[in-house]
């Protein structure tokens, strides 16, 4: 039987008060890791910590609040949590907007949140990982990195950049025992995605019909033909965070329901 053993490891999952991030935090805690749950609002973070600890029957999750889209916020978190063994950069924003109407400031905001938040934390934690000879960095990317969606090219572009960030830092960690990878998540069922779906389909439709209509019209490439559940993303993240994935680095690993039309990973 394959076992995910993360006993004695400390993880940080950014943007983990809901959705994919919360599911990843739960899965890592079940594997034995201490897990920092991150969000901008301490009350929201505390609620997520309580929720995940209760769901996993553990007390392994702890609060790690901070606005990581700013240098000051990242520095404050690093002061409270100076080292981690596993870093999962999940923080991200998305939304539909006509391509020609995306202002410079919105482009900057997307890069600060979706790209630079990850870069800041990798710079912070990678040296400690390489010094100890073990570590895992996972950047949660998206199918939109490869199939740029017409309705949110700013989001897709930042996720493409995140793939390059992952490959570049994997080279910086070469030969150290630290792996750096991207996880290409496909269309996933989260609260934020429900709001996004209703931006694009009839708001009067019940959720199951709206989901099917969204996949049929806006994501017809999906072979799964449904939204992915956050736990399905978390399963891959847990594996890549574990000693079992010691030979996987510099990779962009897909858990996209076959959305990306490629025979390569």
As a whole number of angstroms, the distance between CA 159 and CA 145 comes to: 5
Sign of CA pseudo-dihedral 228, 145, 218, 109: positive
Average pLDDT, integer, range 114-127: 98
Q: pLDDT tens across 147-167, in order?
A: 999 999 999 999 999 999 999
Looking at the predicted structure, is the pLDDT value of residue 205 above 70? Answer: yes
Mean pLDDT of 169-177: 98
Q: Alpha carbon 203 to chain centroid distance?
A: 28
Alpha helices (H) along 133-220:
153-172, 191-200, 207-218
Using an 8 Å Cβ cutoff, are 87 and 138 in contact?
A: yes
Helix (H) or strand (E) holding 51: helix 42-56
pLDDT in tens, 88-97: 999 999 998 9
In whole angstroms, give the CA distance from residue 195 to residue 214: 12
Q: How much is the average pLDDT of 48-54?
A: 98
Report how far Cα 67 is from the mean position of its chain's Cα atoms: 16
- In the chain, domain spans: 10-188+229-255, 190-227
- 52 exposure class (CB count in 10 Å sphere: 0-12, 13-18, 19+): buried
Torsional class of 187: left (φ above 0), alpha (ψ -120 to 50), beta (otherwise): beta
The structure tokens listed for 261 are 């039309």
Residue 47 near residue 77, CB atoms below 8 Å: no
pLDDT at 112: 98
pLDDT digits 0-9 by tens, 17-40: 999 999 999 999 999 999 999 999
Question: Structure tokens of 244?
Answer: 């079992």
pLDDT in tens, 219-241: 899 999 899 999 999 999 999 99
Query: Binning pLDDT at 50, 70 and 90, where does residue 1 land?
Result: low
Fold of 10-188+229-255: Rossmann fold (3.40.50)
pLDDT above 90 as % of the chain: 92
Instruction: Please report the pLDDT score of residue 193 as a whole number.
Output: 85
Rg of the chain, C-alpha, whole Å: 18
* CA–CA separation, 73 and 66 (whole Å): 5
pLDDT band at 3 (very low <50, low <70, confident <90, very high): confident
155 is catalytic: yes
* Residues 145, 158: Cα–Cα separation, whole Å: 7
Q: Looking at the DSSP assignment, which residues form a beta bridge with residue 11? A: 35, 86
Q: Which of 233, 147, 146, 141 is nearest to 182 (CA)?
A: 141
- Which of 155, 198, 239, 259 is labelled catalytic? 155
Q: Do residues 81 and 75 make contact, with C-beta atoms less than 8 angstroms apart? A: no
User: CA 76 to CA 80: how far, in whole Å?
Assistant: 7
Other beta carbons less than 10 A from residue 235's beta carbon: 16
> Average pLDDT, whole number, for the chain?
96
Count CB neighbours of 39 within 10 A: 26
Q: What is the pLDDT of residue 2?
A: 79
Q: Residue 191 has what pLDDT?
A: 84
* Alpha carbons 146 and 218: distance in angstroms, whole number: 15
Percent of the chain with pLDDT over 70: 100
Q: Can you tell me the distance from the alpha carbon of 15 to that of 77, in angstroms, rounded to the nearest whole number?
A: 13
């Amino acid at each position: 039987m394959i076992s995910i053993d993360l006993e004695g490891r400390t993880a940080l999952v950014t943007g983990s008060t809901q959705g994919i991030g919360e599911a990843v935090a739960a899965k890592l805690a079940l594997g034995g890791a201490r897990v920092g749950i991150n969000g901008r609002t301490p009350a929201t973070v505390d609620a997520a910590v309580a929720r995940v600890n209760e769901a996993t029957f553990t007390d392994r999750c702890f609060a790690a609040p901070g606005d990581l889209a700013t240098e000051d916020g990242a520095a404050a978190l690093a002061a409270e949590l100076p080292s981690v063994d596993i870093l999962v950069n999940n923080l991200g924003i998305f939304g539909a907007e006509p391509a020609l109407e995306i202002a410079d400031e919105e482009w900057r905001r997307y890069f600060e949140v979706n790209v630079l938040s990850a870069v800041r934390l990798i710079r912070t934690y990678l040296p400690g990982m390489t010094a100890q000879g073990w570590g895992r960095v996972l950047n949660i990317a998206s199918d939109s990195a490869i199939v740029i969606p017409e309705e949110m090219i700013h989001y897709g572009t930042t996720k493409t950049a995140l793939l390059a960030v992952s490959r570049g830092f994997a080279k910086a960690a070469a030969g150290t025992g630290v792996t750096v990878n991207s996880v290409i998540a496909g269309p996933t069922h989260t609260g934020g995605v429900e709001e996004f779906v209703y931006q694009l389909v009839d708001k009067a439709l019940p959720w199951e019909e709206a989901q099917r209509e969204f996949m049929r019209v806006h994501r017809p490439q999906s072979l799964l033909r449904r939204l992915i559940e956050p736990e399905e993303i978390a399963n891959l993240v847990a594996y890549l965070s574990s000693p079992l994935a010691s030979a996987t680095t510099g990779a962009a690993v897909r858990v996209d329901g076959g959305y990306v039309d490629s025979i390569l990973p």
